[in-house]
Amino acid sequence: MTVLKSPNILIVDDNLDNLKVLSGMLAAYDYKVRRAITGAIALRSIEAVLPHLILLDILLPDYSGYEICQQLQQNPRTCAIPIIFISALNSTLDKVKAFAAGGVDYITKPFEMAEVAARVRNQLQVQAAKAEVEILNAELESRVNQRTAQLTAAKVNLEQQVQERLLAEAALRQSENRFRALIENISDLILLLDEQGIMHYVSPSLERNLGYLPRVWTGQPLTQWLHAEDQSKAIQLLQEVLTQPHQTLSMEWRWQNIQGDWSVFEALAQQFTDATGLVRIVVHARDMTERLRVEAMQCALEHEKEMSELKLRFFSMASHEFRTPLSVILMAAQILEKF
């Protein structure tokens, strides 16, 4: 059982014999006992040092015990001090008035020493228990405040993380939308292949380049759509890409459009690892058919230009070589005509 250390007890009684007997009995239990023979002395003593318990007689020369108890109950500093009334008044009405004034117990005179000791000990134990509960409540409140502060800080941190994640997700969606718009509107072909050469993504530019919808090619092997002469070279290229993860390799291959015409593409292939750790191959292909045709036309024009220049040089040489003989013949013809 919890007990108070060195309990301080105030006995208020105008009967000196009662004071002597009670104080002697309580001192035998190692209690610190103070005495007062009037209400005024009791109030001053209480104001100086708060007792743990008060044994209060009802009939005093200056104040009644009821009045003293009521004054103590109205003061926030003293309202928690337990008061045991000790009185010769034994009527039920007196006891009711004592408890109504704020008393916690009532002992009638003449009193039994064992009863007084038991009731005092009981009230001191109650006080000790209350003090312990208050300490525990203070510790609990401190822990609750500390935990509340931790939870508040964690909540703020979590809200900040959520806000940062929302901002990151918004930026990611914006980046994805920008990337998707770029891929969907680019004129070049973008393909995403697995290690076996199966196409898992085909950009919408396939329809603009070759006339096929992307879903027609998706899930199909890349080599299925290549010219037969380019298939083995394409397989070799993909194998080299897988063995050289940081290299970008290129080659030319031919695809047949939906009308049946073959187009030449310049393809760049590079290894790519997605967020799940799967290895993929990204192929960037650009139609170079028109460029090759223009280059062929330029070569033909340059060849034609060289032939024209060759003809001019030949005529210049022929003119130079025949100019002198023709001049002699012309002169002879003029002489013959004159003479």
Determine the structural domain holding residue 193 and report its residue range.
Answer: 186-293
3-class state of residue 58 by DSSP? coil
Share of the chain above pLDDT 90, in %: 24
For residue 272, the domain's CATH number is 3.30.450.20
Based on the domain organization, do 116 and 194 belong to the same domain? no
- Residue 74 counted as domain residue: yes
Is the pLDDT at 329 greater than 90, yes or no?
Answer: no
Q: What is the mean pLDDT of residues 184-195?
A: 84
Instruction: Answer with the one of 293, 311, 333 that is the final residue of a domain.
Output: 293
Is the pLDDT at 313 greater than 80, yes or no?
Answer: no
- Calculate the average pLDDT of the chain: 86
Is the pLDDT at 43 greater than 90, yes or no?
Answer: yes
Q: DSSP label at 224?
A: G
pLDDT class of 272 with cuts at 50, 70, 90: confident
3-class state of residue 217 by DSSP? helix
Those residues whose C-beta lies under 8 Å from the C-beta of residue 161, and which sit 6 or more positions away, are none
How far apart, in whole angstroms, are the C-alpha atoms of residue 288 and residue 237?
19
Q: How many CA atoms lie within 13 A of 261 on its CB side?
A: 9
DSSP H or E segment with residue 11: strand 8-12
Domain count, the chain: 2
- Residue 35 counted as domain residue: yes
Torsion, Cα of 11, 16, 17, 19 (10° steps):
10
- Top pLDDT among 283 and 325 is at 283
pLDDT class of 74 with cuts at 50, 70, 90: very high
Q: What is the mean pLDDT of residues 206-221?
A: 90
For residue 92, the domain's CATH number is 3.40.50.2300
Q: Are 203 and 189 in contact, with CB atoms under 8 Å apart? A: yes
Q: What is the mean pLDDT of residues 125-151?
A: 88
- Does residue 110 have a cis peptide bond before it, meaning omega lies within 30 degrees of 0? yes
Is the pLDDT at 304 greater than 90, yes or no?
Answer: no
Q: How many CA atoms lie within 13 A of 116 on its CB side?
A: 25
Closest CA to 71 of 92, 42, 96: 42
Based on the domain organization, do 105 and 220 belong to the same domain? no
Q: What is the mean pLDDT of residues 166-176?
A: 84
For 81-117, the pLDDT digits (tens) are: 999 998 888 888 888 999 999 999 998 888 788 888 8
- Residue 181 counted as domain residue: no
Based on the domain organization, do 17 and 83 belong to the same domain? yes
Q: Could you give the residue ranges of the DSSP H alpha helices within the chain?
A: 16-27, 39-48, 65-74, 92-101, 113-185, 205-210, 214-217, 228-243, 289-338
Tell me, what's the pLDDT at 1?
47
Global pTM value: 0.46
Residue linked to tokens 């000791």: 117
Tell me, what's the pLDDT at 321?
64
Q: DSSP label at 111?
A: P
For 12-36, the pLDDT digits (tens) are: 998 888 889 888 888 888 889 999 9
